[in-house]
Amino acid sequence: MAVGKGTFPALPAIDGVRLGTAMAGINKPGRRDLVVIEIAPGATVAGTFTRNAFCAAPVHVAKRHLALETPRYLLVNTGNANAGTGELGMRDAEASCAELGRLAEVAGTAVLPFSTGVIGEPLPMQRLLAGLPAALDSLAADGWAAAAEGILTTDTRPKGATASVEIGGETVTISGISKGSGMIRPNMATMLGFVATDASIAQADLESWLREGVARSFNCITVDSDTSTNDACMLIATGRGPAVSVEDDVARFRAVLDGVLVELAQAIIRDGEGATKFVTLEVSQARSRQEALDVAFTVAHSPLVKTALYASDANWGRILAAVGRAPVADFDVDRVVIDLGEVRLVEHGGRAASYTEEAGSAVMAGEEIAIRIRLGRGEADATVWTSDLSHEYVSINADYRS
């Protein structure tokens, strides 16, 4: 169950990046569950990671290795999160990096590990390590589609995005893949995201652009308000193309990069567990961006709003109530305006005089719904994307380990 067709795009090769996959039997027999991403020397690499206090062992190791040197390989396994596994998990994450480093003839610290799947179970190290040679043997510049499949868990389809921009008379490409379907309320990144460009970008700029881009994309999505222990998003600039440093070039590159990040983030919502609706929440006229986000997420996390969306029930009072309980000081409800699509729901502290149940129901019946909230308090705004809450979501998570 997902919203829209979700066709995987043709991702062009990025000079300086190769991807390989293997069926290691970590997740389920007969499916890709091990991915290796090779990064050529001379690249710059930035990352953002979950702020969950119980962050997984691979998150700890990846952050430590990234601080030591520019990575040459990213190692991703699905089916097992290696989270809540204590010292054993740390040793397993380090051992995975060491073995891939040995096989690829680089230092173990030049490998960053990433895991996703069930929390609290030790990694099946024998199977993971045994799958590494096959993943290395399959490394290819056109391996994006296979890698996108290899990082999935409860996702129903692979997710990718690509775009190009002209820099200094040359074409620069930005491509990426992401995974995520449940346990989605990222607190810095998505469940897992890997984006690469052939541009040449200074390390400090790369880190800043990723951090700010994530704030406007992956940090603005929610399926179920749960932040994963394993969230990570990586941005690779291989340096094989022109440098992005001139002010006009920077602005155009960042706009395209942000577009790719937003597309990958939205793909997660469209494939949210049990999702039948893709919902855009636009909050404007707030005193600060944080205030706008607080209102948007309060509505997006309301089980009553989300179940009404699933039922295509124009129960607009649930939206009004959620807005009213958002953590906003000195709320003047008479200034608040709420629209459902192009239908005015609320103004002057109550139901809009022009509102009809038929008009509201017609909007709610669609797969894609926009809820616009104007607070009448300032000039700040924010947009959040979410999904509905269906019977299927409950079934997926009730049966997750069965």
- Taking the chain (402 residues) in runs of 10, the rounded mean pLDDT of each run is 91 98 92 98 98 97 98 98 98 98 98 97 97 98 98 96 97 98 90 97 98 98 96 98 96 98 97 97 98 98 98 97 96 96 97 97 98 98 98 91 69
Query: What residue has token string 């070039």?
Result: 249
Q: Tell me, rounded to whole angstroms, the distance of Cα 93 from its chain centroid.
A: 22
Closest CA to 382 of 298, 290, 279: 290
Give domain 17-270's CATH number out of 3.40.630.10, 3.40.50.2000, 3.60.70.12, 3.40.30.10.
3.60.70.12
Q: Which residue out of 153, 190, 197, 238 is catalytically annotated?
A: 190
Q: Give pLDDT, residue 402.
A: 59
All structural domains of the chain with their residue ranges:
17-270, 278-398
Question: Rounded CA gap, 288 and 293, in Å?
Answer: 9
CB atoms within 10 A of CB 55: 20
Q: Tell me, rounded to whole angstroms, the distance of Cα 158 from its chain centroid.
A: 13
Q: Give pLDDT, residue 401.
A: 79
Say if 17-270 and 278-398 have the same CATH topology.
Answer: no
Question: Rounded CA gap, 74 and 304, in Å?
Answer: 41
Q: Return the ∠ at Cα 208 (arms to 328 and 166), rounded to 5°.
A: 115
In Å, what is the CA distance from 25 to each residue of 90, 128, 129, 151, 156? Answer: 21, 8, 11, 13, 19
In Å, what is the CA distance from 313 to each residue of 242, 307, 319, 393? Answer: 52, 8, 12, 18
Strand partners of residue 347: 350
Q: Assess whether 190 carries a catalytic annotation.
A: yes
Q: CB–CB of 388/277 below 8 Å?
A: yes
| One-character DSSP codes across 300-365 | HT-HHHHHHHHTT---HHHHHHHHHTSS-TT--GGG-EEEETTEEEEETTEE-TT--HHHHHHHHT
Q: What is the DSSP letter of 50?
A: -
Strand order in the sheet with 34-39: 17-22, 34-39, 73-80, 111-118
Q: Give pLDDT, residue 190.
A: 78
Question: Rounded CA gap, 92 and 108, in Å?
Answer: 12
Q: Give pLDDT, residue 42.
A: 97
Q: Which helix (H) or strand (E) holds 171?
A: strand 170-179
**Fold of the domain spanning 278-398:** Ubiquitin-like (UB roll) (3.10.20)
Q: Are strands 232-237 and 192-197 parallel, antiparallel or unpaired?
A: parallel
Closest CA to 154 of 31, 71, 65: 31
Q: Which helix (H) or strand (E) holds 383?
A: strand 380-387
